[in-house]
Each structure stands twice: as structure tokens, then as C-alpha cells.
């Protein structure tokens, strides 16, 4: 039996996936979490085989949670589940240790196939994401600003977009405020923006975050 954990900040999404998996004989849902911090703790206690991880959540988010879970347990596989396709998430998630990437439009056949595939130790990506990754591997990572962003820089960008202060980002990521500032200024330099507001607007404009899911960071 493959033990699965669901991580998403929307109850309806988790409930929908859980219902789809209820009648799958070789898969069982053993835990659920609504944020990255809870996911890390539950993964440590429940030791699921596979985690279906939402990328964009409050707090540290799914990307940082994936990185920490994979660092503490190489046996637990993570599949990112998100609405995003055409952005740097797939590459960043692979760097963080994810074994797969699904969109929230995936049906039960694809979800179960992905779970079984990563449980066997292989990777699974939807076709559109697989094609994007293939193209990224034959190009230099610094060809575009998006492709130059590291997984840690992406985590910081998502947290800045939520309106989280530099000090709080540092505490949540267990890094110094100076290191957090370094990540922010690297983002400013790579993306050609001058401050957090401009960074947030850039992220919205380029589909990295959904405008409806972030706080108002005020005027520029």
C-alpha cells in the first residue's frame, strides 16, 4: 500500500483529491496539511511514501517544504501539484528534490500514475512540463531572468509577494537577515527591479504568483 500525504491550503482541493483516491486499492491517504510548516512535521511523524504538495501556500510554501522534507528523508517522494506551468517552478522544484510535477487539472488516472511512478523511484511530469524541462536543459540557465532564479531565491520571492517582512522570512527559513537581504538583492539585480513592490508586480506579471493570493504591498 502506498501511503500518501496531501498538502494544500484549500480544503476543497484536498477533499477532492482525497475523494478521487478513496477507491484506489493500492493507495491510501494517511495525512493532510494546509501549510508547509505543518507538512514538514507531519512528514516526520507519518513517514508517507509520497506527498502531493501544493506550491503556493502561506508561510514558507511548498517549495521550501519540499526542500526540507527531502533533506530529512530521502525515502519520501514529493510531487508538486499546482496551477502553474509556464514559469521557473518545475526547474526550481527539481533542484529542491521533487520527483514530479502535476497541474491541478490532472485527472485521477494521471494522479495515480504519478504516485505509482515516483514511488518506484522514477520521475513523473505532465507532458507540457516535461517538454519545458527538456527545452531548459538544452539552454543555458542564464539565458532568461526566470531561468537564472535558484530555488531559494524563488522561495524568498514568494514570501516577499505575501508581504512577509525580511526578519520574518529569515526566521521561517532559518537563515540570517543578511542572507535574506542577499537573496532579495540578487532577485532585484536579475529581474531588473528596484524594491519589493516592483518584485511583487514582476512576479504577478510573469505568472509566478496569482494576484488574488497575495497581500497588498502598498504603493511604489
What is the model's pLDDT at position 93? Answer: 80
**47-106 pLDDT per residue, tens:** 999 999 998 888 898 989 999 999 998 899 999 988 766 555 677 788 888 999 888 888
Q: How confident is the model at residue 132 (pLDDT cuts 50, 70, 90)?
A: low
What does the alpha-carbon distance between residue 114 and residue 93 come to, in Å, rounded to a whole number? 16
The domain ranges of the chain are 2-137, 145-213
Cross-strand bridge partners of residue 80: 53, 101
Return the sign of the alpha-carbon dihedral for residues 88, 90, 93, 95.
negative
What does the alpha-carbon distance between residue 158 and residue 154 come to, in Å, rounded to a whole number? 6
Considering the chain, what percentage of its residues have pLDDT values greater than 90? Answer: 49
Q: Is a pLDDT exceeding 50 seen at residue 140?
A: no
Q: CATH top-level class for 145-213? A: mainly alpha
Q: Which residues contact 128 (CB under 8 A, 6 or more apart)?
A: 85, 103
What is the model's pLDDT at position 128? Answer: 67
What is the model's pLDDT at position 85? Answer: 60
Q: Which residues contact 74 (CB under 8 A, 6 or more apart)?
A: none
C-alpha distances (whole Å) from 126 to each of 115, 144, 218 are 12, 23, 37
What is the model's pLDDT at position 145? Answer: 66
What is the model's pLDDT at position 211? Answer: 65
What is the model's pLDDT at position 210? Answer: 66
The fold adopted by the segment(s) 2-137 is Rossmann fold (3.40.50)
Q: Is a pLDDT exceeding 90 seen at residue 122?
A: yes
What is the model's pLDDT at position 181? Answer: 92
Q: What is the mean predicted confidence (pLDDT) over 147-159? A: 84
**25-53 pLDDT per residue, tens:** 999 999 999 999 999 999 999 999 999 99
Q: Compute the mean pLDDT over every residue in the chain, rounded to the nearest whole number.
A: 85
Q: Is a pLDDT exceeding 70 seen at residue 9?
A: yes
Q: Which residues contact 11 (CB under 8 A, 6 or more apart)?
A: 34
Q: What is the mean predicted confidence (pLDDT) over 111-138? A: 80
Q: What element of type H or E holds 8?
A: none
What is the model's pLDDT at position 120? Answer: 95
Amino acid at each position: 500500500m502506498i501511503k500518501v500525504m496531501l498538502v494544500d491550503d484549500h480544503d476543497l482541493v484536498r477533499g477532492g483529491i482525497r475523494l478521487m483516491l478513496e477507491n484506489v486499492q493500492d493507495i491510501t491517504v494517511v495525512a493532510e496539511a494546509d501549510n508547509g510548516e505543518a507538512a514538514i512535521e507531519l512528514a516526520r511523524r507519518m513517514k508517507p511514501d509520497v506527498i502531493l504538495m501544493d506550491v503556493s501556500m502561506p508561510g514558507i510554501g511548498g517549495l521550501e517544504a519540499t526542500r526540507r522534507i527531502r533533506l530529512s528523508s530521502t525515502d519520501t517522494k514529493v510531487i508538486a501539484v499546482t496551477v502553474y506551468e509556464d514559469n521557473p517552478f518545475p526547474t526550481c522544484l527539481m533542484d529542491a528534490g521533487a520527483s514530479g510535477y502535476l497541474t491541478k487539472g490532472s485527472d485521477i488516472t494521471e494522479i495515480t500514475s504519478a504516485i505509482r511512478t515516483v514511488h518506484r523511484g522514477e520521475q513523473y511530469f505532465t507532458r507540457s512540463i516535461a517538454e519545458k524541462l527538456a527545452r531548459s536543459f538544452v539552454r543555458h540557465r542564464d539565458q532568461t531572468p526566470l531561468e537564472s532564479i535558484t530555488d531559494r531565491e524563488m522561495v524568498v520571492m514568494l514570501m516577499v509577494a505575501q508581504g512577509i517582512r525580511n526578519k520574518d522570512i529569515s526566521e521561517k527559513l532559518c537563515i540570517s537577515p543578511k542572507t535574506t537581504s542577499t537573496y532579495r538583492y540578487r532577485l532585484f539585480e536579475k529581474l531588473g527591479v528596484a524594491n519589493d513592490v516592483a518584485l511583487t508586480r514582476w512576479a504577478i506579471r510573469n505568472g509566478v504568483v496569482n494576484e488574488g493570493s497575495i497581500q497588498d504591498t502598498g504603493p511604489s
